[in-house]
């Protein structure tokens, strides 16, 4: 080895570290750029739907604590939030959409680890009285175990629907009224989000991931189709009188488009 060998090793090692640091910085800058572009796209989306952009919404979990999602973990925060009135399926709905973050800390007695989770969501409060608690989600492994030990969900005439979706409702009659053949077909023909009604508010989400602006549009379009398929007799019984007069399903001649 020549007299400069040691310096050569140090130089190569230093160069390697510099390359790694540069790569990390590039990734961080690129991620920040993508995040900024996403926020700008969501702001344009809010304007498109004539919604107000509020950004941070720290009290989100307090306002909607009746949903299990907003009670998980700690350090909860709503962000990239927009809200406004949107007509979905002909029904005017107070709509709030954006991102939500929470953290879960675990400990094995020696080491404490904190994991951060984020998800996108849409919340709607339609002018449709739904005081019942209702959850509709994809059937999972633990749901099947629950069925095995007698904790069954609601089964419908469609065996395919009952196989694919776990449905819980505080009023079985309402569940059967809502999920008529047309609504069941709508759920079967797509990959719907998890839908949860509680205290006349509906939450739609897909778990621990965020959506881009195009995905928000697709989810809003899906909710538009969902509300459009609320059966006529449910609409007639649960819409306020003023809304029944202008509802495009109950009164196609009202001039209101879906």
- Over residues 133-160, the pLDDT tens digits come to 999 999 864 444 444 434 568 999 999 9
* 50-61 average pLDDT score: 92
- Amino acid 253: pLDDT: 78
User: For position 87, what pLDDT does the model report?
Assistant: 96
Neighbours of 121 (CB within 10 A): 26
**What pLDDT, on a 0 to 100 scale, did the predictor assign at position 207?**
85
pLDDT at 13: 62
pLDDT of 58-85, one tens digit each?
888 899 999 999 999 999 999 999 999 9
Q: How far is CA 65 from CA 93, 134, 148, in A?
A: 20, 15, 30
β pairing state of 91-107 and 201-205: unpaired
Tell me the pLDDT band of 165, cut-offs 50, 70 and 90: very high
Res 234 pLDDT > 60? yes
Residue in the structure block whose two tokens are 């005439």:
157
Distance CA 227, CA 238 (A): 13
- What's residue 42's pLDDT? 97
| Per-residue confidence band for 28, with pLDDT thresholds at 50, 70 and 90 | low
Q: pTM value? A: 0.84
Nearest to 99 by CA among 193, 1, 206: 206
What beta strand segments (E) does the chain contain? Answer: 52-57, 74-88, 91-107, 112-126, 134-138, 165-169, 194-198, 201-205
Summarised one tens digit per residue, pLDDT across range 211-227 is 999 999 999 999 999 99
- For residues 82 and 55, what is the distance between their CA atoms, to the nearest angstrom? 7
Average pLDDT over residues 152-180: 93
25 pLDDT more than 70 = no
pLDDT at 124 over 60: yes
Q: Give the position of tokens 């409702």.
A: 169
- Local structure of 116: helix, strand or coil: strand
Distance CA 222, CA 240 (A): 24
200 pLDDT exceeds 80?
yes
Q: Is 67 helix (H, G, I), strand (E, B) or coil?
A: coil
Per-domain residue ranges of the chain: 1-48, 53-254
SS3 180: coil
Please check the confidence at residue 181 and state whether its pLDDT lies above 80.
yes
| pLDDT of 97 over the 90 cut | yes
- Dihedral pair phi/psi, residue 195, rounded to 5°: -120, 130
- Greatest CA separation for the chain: 93
What is the structure's pLDDT at 170?
95
pLDDT band for position 109 (cuts 50, 70, 90): confident
Sign of CA dihedral 117, 37, 204, 53: positive
Identify the pLDDT of residue 258.
Answer: 61
Percent of the chain with pLDDT over 70: 81
Q: What's the Cα-to-Cα distance from 176 to each of 53, 171, 183, rounded to whole Å?
A: 37, 9, 10
pLDDT higher than threshold 90 for residue 30: no
Residue spans of beta strands (DSSP E) within 25-164: 52-57, 74-88, 91-107, 112-126, 134-138
- The CB density around residue 55, as the number of other CB atoms within 10 Å, is 13
């Amino acid at each position: 080895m020549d007299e400069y060998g040691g310096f050569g090793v140090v130089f190569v090692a230093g160069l390697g570290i510099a390359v790694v640091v540069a790569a990390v910085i590039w990734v961080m800058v690129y991620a920040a750029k993508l995040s900024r572009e996403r926020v700008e796209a969501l702001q344009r989306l809010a304007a498109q739907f004539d919604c107000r952009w509020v950004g941070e919404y720290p009290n989100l979990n307090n306002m909607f604590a009746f949903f299990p999602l907003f009670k998980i973990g700690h350090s909860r925060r709503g962000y990239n939030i927009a809200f406004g009135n949107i007509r979905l399926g002909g029904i005017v709905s107070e709509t709030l959409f954006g991102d939500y973050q929470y953290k879960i800390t675990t400990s094995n007695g020696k080491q404490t680890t904190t994991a951060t989770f984020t998800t996108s969501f849409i919340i709607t409060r339609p002018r449709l009285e739904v005081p019942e608690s209702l959850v509709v989600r994809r059937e999972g492994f633990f749901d099947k175990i629950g069925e095995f030990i007698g904790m069954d969900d609601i089964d419908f005439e469609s065996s395919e629907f009952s196989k694919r979706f776990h449905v819980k409702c505080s009023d079985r009659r309402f569940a059967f009224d809502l999920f008529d053949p047309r609504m069941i077909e709508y759920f079967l023909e797509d990959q719907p989000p998890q839908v949860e009604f509680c205290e006349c508010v509906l939450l739609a989400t897909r778990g621990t991931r965020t959506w881009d602006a195009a995905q928000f549009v697709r989810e809003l379009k899906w909710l538009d189709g969902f509300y459009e398929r609320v059966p006529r007799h449910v609409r007639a019984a649960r819409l306020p009188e003023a809304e029944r007069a202008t509802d495009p399903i109950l009164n196609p001649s009202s001039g209101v488009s879906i």
